[in-house]
Amino acid sequence: MSETESKNFIEVMIDKDLETGVYDTVHTRFPPEPNGYLHIGHAKSILLNYGLAKKYNGKFNLRFDDTNPTKEDIEFVESIKADTEWLGADWEDRLFFASDYFGQMYEAAVKLIRKGKAYVSDLSADQIREYRGSLTEPGKEDPFSTRSVEENLRLFEEMKDGKYGDGEKVLRARIDMASPNINMRDPVIYRVAHMSHHNTKDAWCIYPMYDFAHPVEDAIEGITHSICTLEFEDHRPLYDWVVRELEYPNPPRQIEFAKLYLKNVVTGKRYIKKLVEEGIVDGWDDPRLVSIAALRRRGFTPESIRMFVEMCGVSKANSVADYAALEYCIREDLKPRAPRYMAVLDPVKLVIDNYPEDRTEYLTACNNPDNEELGSREVPFCRELYIEREDFMEEPPKKYFRLFPGNEVRLMNGYFVTCTGCVKDENGVVTEVHCTYDPLSRGGNSPDGRKVRGTIHWVAAKDAVTAQVRLYENIIDEEKGVYNEDGSLNLNPNSLTVMKECKLEPAFKGAKAYDRFQFVRQGFFSVDPRDSVEGSLVFNRIVSLKSSFVLPKQGEGA
């Protein structure tokens, strides 16, 4: 693939800007509103903006778009910083808060008034809506639009000084009430709101509207390419109007791209907030969610998320990605990196009747057949082991090659064993499986060329580490779709399974928060950073080993 073919449409635009001298540098930003946790969609925006700055040797700002005092919270500021940093997007010393520019925004509004480009209106919110017209009807002039510059300056200052109540007066940009683009019909750019702000406290009782504030923020920071999502496409003429009328020397340019959506996955803050508040999930970082904090807690790596975002590509057309693609990325990332150890999730005892009672021997096991560098370890082996309950059946169906009376299997890295029967309790539940071993098959190698069809994993009972393991499914019932008719979520009752008495080989001892492993035959798991403590480990399943995902061909996206 040639250099030009691999460029996305934003890179093509940037190249042109640099070639024609519109800009001589690239300066991007990620501008989250601190009103919730970041999710996988935001990761796309972060990595896109940061990636462009890196690629063009430019700069990247993290800017909190905290101009709306109602919904914002310092808890979210901290979580957004942590998530952005974890993803590897380094803002260096360029961390900004839009609220620090309230003074400059006020001056910018005054400048518009002086130029006759903004006026104070007494219309109510409802009246403004009514006067605005519709897609088929032009708007009507605001009766207050004829106020003089002097009067507007005085009224705007009075708004700032707290003379008016909420909603009593607004500042509107004077653009074009007949514009086919409703955003251009004299949009409100400042409103009165007697509210305390998390940063500026009670310094202001007027606050700028997003469409005015955002271009000003970008211009103040010297942003060149202001990258946002498609829903702002119709607002671009207003963005351009603001930076033009304010006469910024080298104004930023807005470029829109399509949001990242995941099929059958909830990302909306409103829904997640409800799940948290109703106690259906264990906080914003519940591993079943796709907030960045949740993905991190579950055990995803920043590398896997980068790979996923790259696979999805950047485009102008909305599309929906598959969660299976994200799973593919984490498997690819962890396959060579994670040590592969044995863990029994649903244990039943396997007793080897012809193995000496007080003997323990150590068998060598490779830590990762895909990566020699991870070396090997010694695994204890003794007369009593744990195996998965489902690896034994008293009456097996056809094609079941694991343990059943009379059948011989390989204990991975261990010996060949032949099942001789089982012991059951009064309810008919199997409590012990019995077998004999072939001492000549040490290491799991056939002594005489005879073959076994099943290989199962196991853990020596004596040295086993007991741990809790959590298995996850989509929190949404995928069969039924995300939403019910009444707008509520279709929850999957089986989204969380807690296995409390799992038995792990001793190599797991000392595992720390976020350590990742492959549990042989079971999937990839990570130590839960919140609930796991030394001596009482808790693991989250990141992803199972089974995949239905087919890697798309180059250029098709995920």
Q: List residues binding ligand ATP (CB under 6 A).
A: 31-33, 36, 41-42, 44-45, 228-229, 259-260, 267-269
Q: Which is nearer to ligand ATP, 217 or 515 (CB)?
A: 217
In the bound complex, what is the minimum distance in angstroms from residue 66's beta carbon to ligand ATP? 10
Q: Which is nearer to ligand ATP, 44 or 174 (CB)?
A: 44
Rg, Å, the chain Cα set:
31
Q: Residue 24 to residues 15, 57, 188, 252: CA-CA distances in angstroms?
A: 10, 11, 34, 12
Q: Which is nearer to ligand ATP, 80 or 112 (CB)?
A: 80
Which run of H or E residues covers position 275? helix 269-277
Q: Which is nearer to ligand ATP, 71 or 115 (CB)?
A: 71
Q: Where does 355-464 show beta strands of DSSP type E?
A: 360-366, 376-382, 384-388, 408-411, 416-424, 430-437, 455-456, 459-460
- What is the rounded distance in angstroms from the CA atom of residue 284 to the CA atom of residue 295? 10
In the bound complex, what is the minimum distance in angstroms from residue 139's beta carbon to ligand ATP? 27
Q: Which is nearer to ligand ATP, 105 or 260 (CB)?
A: 260
- What is the rounded distance in angstroms from the CA atom of residue 526 to the CA atom of residue 470? 10
- What is the rounded distance in angstroms from the CA atom of residue 513 to the CA atom of residue 299? 9
What torsion do the CA atoms of 389, 390, 392, 398 make, to the nearest 10 degrees? Answer: 170
Q: Which is nearer to ligand ATP, 229 or 544 (CB)?
A: 229
In the bound complex, what is the minimum distance in angstroms from residue 269's beta carbon to ligand ATP? 4
In the bound complex, what is the minimum distance in angstroms from residue 215's beta carbon to ligand ATP? 13
Q: What are phi and psi of 6, to 5 degrees?
A: -85, 0
- What is the rounded distance in angstroms from the CA atom of residue 62 to the CA atom of residue 93? 9
- What is the rounded distance in angstroms from the CA atom of residue 182 to the CA atom of residue 132? 7
**C-alpha angle 247-252-258 in degrees, rounded to nearest 5:** 140
Q: Which is nearer to ligand ATP, 41 or 339 (CB)?
A: 41
Q: Which is nearer to ligand ATP, 258 or 324 (CB)?
A: 258
In the bound complex, what is the minimum distance in angstroms from residue 343's beta carbon to ligand ATP? 35
In the bound complex, what is the minimum distance in angstroms from residue 223's beta carbon to ligand ATP? 12
In the bound complex, what is the minimum distance in angstroms from residue 383's beta carbon to ligand ATP? 56
In the bound complex, what is the minimum distance in angstroms from residue 214's beta carbon to ligand ATP? 9
In the bound complex, what is the minimum distance in angstroms from residue 259's beta carbon to ligand ATP? 4
In the bound complex, what is the minimum distance in angstroms from residue 272's beta carbon to ligand ATP? 8
- What is the rounded distance in angstroms from the CA atom of residue 183 to the CA atom of residue 112? 17
CA-based nearest residue to 382, from 356, 364, 408, 403: 356
- What is the rounded distance in angstroms from the CA atom of residue 65 to the CA atom of residue 355? 68
Nearest residue to ligand ATP, by Cβ distance, number only: 41
DSSP codes of every residue in 453-505: S-EE--EETTTPEEEEEEEE--SB-TTT-SB-TTS-B-B-TTSEEEEEEEEE-
Q: Which is nearer to ligand ATP, 132 or 259 (CB)?
A: 259
**C-alpha angle 520-523-524 in degrees, rounded to nearest 5:** 105
In the bound complex, what is the minimum distance in angstroms from residue 118's beta carbon to ligand ATP? 25
Q: What are phi and psi of 204, to 5 degrees?
A: -125, 145
Q: Which is nearer to ligand ATP, 261 or 514 (CB)?
A: 261
Q: Which is nearer to ligand ATP, 159 or 260 (CB)?
A: 260
In the bound complex, what is the minimum distance in angstroms from residue 31's beta carbon to ligand ATP? 6
**Contact status, residue 223 vs residue 29, Cβ threshold 8 Å:** yes
Q: Which is nearer to ligand ATP, 33 or 303 (CB)?
A: 33
Q: Which residues of 385-411 are buried (b: 16+ CB within 10 A; e: fewer)?
A: bbbbeebbbeeeeeebebbbbebbbbb
Q: Which two tokens stand for residue 20?
A: 């024609």
- What is the rounded distance in angstroms from the CA atom of residue 367 to the CA atom of residue 369? 7
Contacts of 44 (CB under 8 A, 6+ apart): 259, 260, 309, 312
